[in-house]
């Protein structure tokens, strides 16, 4: 059974950036205002994420790494949260099967912090009392230490580091009231650094550069018929990049929609030279029951109800914004 769990875990967590995405979402679920990430070897040797959120209660530390149990934990009274982020209860369990996982955490009600380590979904001994501020530190060491084939597949830690930078950057743009920091372990210089009283635009400028942010256009759409809303920022036609930057959140979850992405690109193709791309950041909200959340954690492709109409109406909103700004 341990081996089967390990294989399943290796499919859920395929590389450090998948783990970071899951852990970031947990920290955001815990209503933190700051998240600091430290990586050694692109997260393969060490991946640490510290937040100042609610923390995990001592009595819950025994079960947080059991599969499918955790979404029922007491702190999720908000159904909206369950349906967007923490619905699977598999991230910590998976990580514990393929890495050395340690959790240090303190809630507001507890006198001290507790530190617990896990192997294959189970606590190693009892949580130990220790000193720490409120919040949670998750430490993942030697990712894939027991999955030699996967471990061997990582030739370039710098590429894994860059993927983590990419994921964290997207979350930072979407969450301007959370301060993000991402560093290589032991280095002073951050690869991502935002403050917790920022704005979407300021974070876009900070992360993707001034020349994008100078002429960003704001998108706002409330569609009463198909019951969804869109907000976000898109680059004007005087900006383009070689590599497409398409940041899409649906109900605060980082996803991808190839159909939406392609549809929006066609609007720009009227303006931009061949081979150059826009910057697009969109946040969609819709009834969680209409989003197909039953996706694999590594496949971010998402589908939702009335997909064609939602895409077409979003495309039109974007087109009229661009037309309005350029006539
Ligand atoms: P899920 O998020 O789907 O419930 P996870 O394995 O990602 O499953 O997390 C298990 C549980 O551990 C969460 O439901 C939450 O109660 C708790 N948890 C994990 N990370 C944190 C954190 N950073 N702060 C507070 N609680 C956390
Ligand atoms: Mg989770």
Angle at 42 between CA 40 and CA 47, to 5 degrees: 55
Intervals of CATH 3.30.565.10 along the chain:
2-193
Over 80: is that where the pLDDT of 294 sits? no
Helix residue ranges per DSSP H, 130-257: 148-153, 157-174, 200-208, 210-213
Between 88 and 196, whose confidence is greater? Answer: 196
133 falls in which pLDDT band (50, 70, 90)?
A: very high
Residue ranges around ligand 1 (CB below 6 Å): 22, 26-27, 30, 51, 53-56, 64, 70-71, 73, 75, 86-93, 136
ipTM for this prediction: 0.99
Is residue 295 over pLDDT 70? Answer: no
Please tell me the distance between residue 282's alpha carbon and the centre of ligand 1 in angstroms.
Answer: 26
HSE (CB half, 13 Å, CA atoms) of 75? Answer: 20
Mean pLDDT across the stretch 185-213? 93
Q: For residue 84, is pLDDT > 70?
A: no
Give the fold, CATH level 3, of 2-193.
Answer: Heat Shock Protein 90 (3.30.565)
pLDDT given for residue 81 in this prediction: 45
Q: What CA–CA distance (Å, rounded) separates 107 from 233?
A: 36
> What's the average model confidence in pLDDT over 88-115?
93
Residue 85 has pLDDT above 50, yes or no: no
| Region 79-97 average pLDDT | 66
Mean pLDDT score, 58-75: 71
pLDDT digits (tens, 9 = 90+) for 141-154: 999 999 988 888 89
- pLDDT attached to residue 86: 42
Nearest to 17 by CA among 207, 302, 298: 298
CATH architecture of 210-325: 2-Layer Sandwich (3.30)
Domain with CATH 3.30.230.10 in the chain: 210-325
């Amino acid at each position: 059974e341990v081996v089967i769990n390990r294989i399943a875990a290796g499919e859920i967590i395929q590389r450090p950036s998948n783990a970071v995405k899951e852990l970031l979402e947990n920290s955001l679920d815990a209503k933190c205002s700051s998240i600091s990430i430290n990586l050694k070897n692109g997260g393969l040797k060490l991946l640490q994420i510290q937040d100042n959120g609610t923390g995990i209660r001592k009595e819950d530390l025994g079960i947080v790494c059991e599969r499918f149990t955790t979404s029922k934990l007491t702190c999720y009274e908000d159904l909206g949260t369950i349906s967007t982020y923490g619905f699977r209860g598999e991230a910590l369990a998976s990580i514990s099967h393929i890495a050395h996982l340690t959790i240090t955490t303190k809630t507001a009600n507890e006198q001290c912090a507790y530190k617990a380590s896990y192997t294959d979904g189970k606590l190693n001994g009892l949580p130990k009392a220790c000193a720490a501020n409120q919040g949670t530190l998750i430490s993942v060491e030697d990712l894939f230490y027991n999955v030699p084939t996967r471990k061997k597949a990582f030739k370039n830690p710098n590429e894994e580091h860059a993927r983590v930078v990419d994921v964290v950057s997207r979350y930072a743009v979407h969450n301007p009231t959370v301060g993000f920091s991402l560093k290589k372990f032991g280095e002073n210089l951050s690869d991502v650094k935002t403050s917790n009283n920022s704005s979407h635009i300021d974070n876009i400028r900070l992360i993707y550069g001034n020349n994008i942010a100078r002429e960003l256009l704001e998108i706002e759409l409330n569609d009463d018929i198909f019951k969804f809303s869109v907000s976000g920022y898109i680059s004007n036609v005087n900006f383009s990049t070689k590599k497409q930057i398409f940041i899409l959140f649906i109900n605060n979850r980082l996803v991808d929609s190839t159909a939406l992405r392609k549809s929006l690109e066609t609007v720009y193709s009227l303006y931009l030279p061949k081979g150059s791309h826009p910057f697009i950041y969109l946040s969609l909200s819709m009834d969680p029951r209409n989003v197909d959340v039953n996706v694999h954690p590594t496949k971010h492709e998402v589908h939702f109800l009335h997909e064609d109409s939602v895409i077409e109406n979003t495309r039109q909103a974007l087109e009229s914004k661009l037309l309005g700004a350029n006539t």
